[in-house]
Structure 1
Amino acid sequence: MTAFAVRPAVQADAVFLGAMVVAAAQWREGRGQPAHEILADPAHSRYLSGWMRPGDAGVVATDEQDDPIGAAWYRLLPRGDPGFGYVGTGVPELVIGVRPIWRAHGVGRALLRQLCEHARQQGFARLSLSVDRDNFARTLYRSEGFAVTQRGVGRDTMVKRLR
């Protein structure tokens, strides 16, 4: 179960990105909120609404059968409708999700690295994200150069400098 590929995200990936928003929100086993409630919540739907609008970019990991297993994408959010990891105008906010069975197999790291490189090539100086303090993914983010810039209630905003 270690063979996977990473490709650019396309507009048709919107439904899968929704599944990855749910996976990110339910990162802890048994975490309660149903998928339809997560996707209806503006706090989460802002990362999906109108996917592939100008400034959006992402990558999707696929298994050997070309089925999607994870995704990472970023979006520029306005100051008036900030996301969980908003740090400022012109700093894209990253979302990442990996199907539970594929976690701890290098999928998240591969997605993160490819998306950060893409953002750097697009001229962005930083990427931000938000993560719960007890989420094991914090270790991944730190190892990939993200640092805590804002502490919140139970979660932190992390930023990576790209150049």
Structure 2
Amino acid sequence: MPAIPIRAALPSDGVFLADMTVEAANWRAGSARPRYEVLSNPDHQRYVAGWQRPGDAGFVAQSPAGEAIGAAWYRLFPRGEPGFGWVGTGVPELIIGVRPVWRAHGVGRALLQRLVAHARDQGYSRISLSVERDNFARTFYRSEGFAVTRAGQGRDVMVKTLR
């Protein structure tokens, strides 16, 4: 498969990032929650509300035809308003979503690698994420150097050291 075109996420990508938040929340086949249900939940809303605020960074993958097919981005959250994968002040938390038809084609890996490299270039020493324990993506994250640092009820926080 040829290289996947990836570009920096723009302020105008907020709606697409919301779509990818829905894809990430609906990773389990056969149990898709409606878009409004996912995005009205404050736990999910925090990942896209007010995109692109200071400290936000992300990337969008595009199909050969130029259609947006996936995104990976990170945000910094304060201690009082943590995300699912919060590990500390100043540690960006990432989220990634890929349209189902493009999964298992290297899109997620390309996005994750670009985002991690960007976080490293920005001087971050760690990056975190949260993943449900039965999500097949856990194996993918481990293959990219993430390790479980906190086990929760059905969900784990994983961290990658960048330096």
TM-score normalised per structure 2 = 0.97
Measure how far apart 1:35 and its partner are. Answer: 1.0
Does 2:154 align with 1:154?
Answer: yes
Identity %: 66
Distance 2:155 2:82 in 1: 15
Instruction: Give the conservation status (yes or no) of the 8 Å contact 1:70–1:107.
Output: yes
1:113-128 superposed matches below 5 A:
113-128=113-128
1:90 is matched with which residue?
A: 90
* Inter-partner Cα distance in structure 2 for 1:155 and 1:68: 28
The two structures, once aligned, show a CA RMSD in angstroms of: 1.1
1:3 Cα deviation after fit: 5.6
The match for 2:140 is 140
Secondary structure of the equivalent of 1:108?
helix
Q: Does 1:107 align with 2:71?
A: no
How far apart are the structure 1 equivalents of 2:31 and 2:14? 23
Where structure 1 has 5 or more consecutive residues not aligned to the other structure, the ranges are: none
The number of aligned residues is: 163
* 1:127 aligned partner, one-letter code: I
Offset at residue 2 of structure 1 (A): 5.8
- The residue aligned with 2:129 is 129
Distance 1:110 1:4 in 2: 7
Contact 2:77 2:86 in 1 (8 A): yes
Q: C-alpha distance in 2, partners of 1:50/1:151?
A: 29
CA distance in 2, matches of 1:31, 1:85: 22
CA distance in 2, matches of 1:135, 1:49: 25
After superposing on structure 2, the runs of 4+ consecutive aligned residues of structure 1 that deviate more than 3 Å are none
Conserved 8 A contact 1:2-1:105: no
1:7-156 superposed matches below 5 A: 7-156=7-156
Cα separation, 1, equivalents of 2:118 and 2:48: 19
| Deviations, residues 111-130 of structure 1 (Å, cap 9, x unaligned) | 00000000000000000000
Question: Residue 95 of structure 1: SS of its match in structure 2?
Answer: strand
Normalising to structure 1: TM-score of the pair?
A: 0.97
- The whole-number CA distance in structure 2 between the counterparts of 1:57 and 1:144 is 19
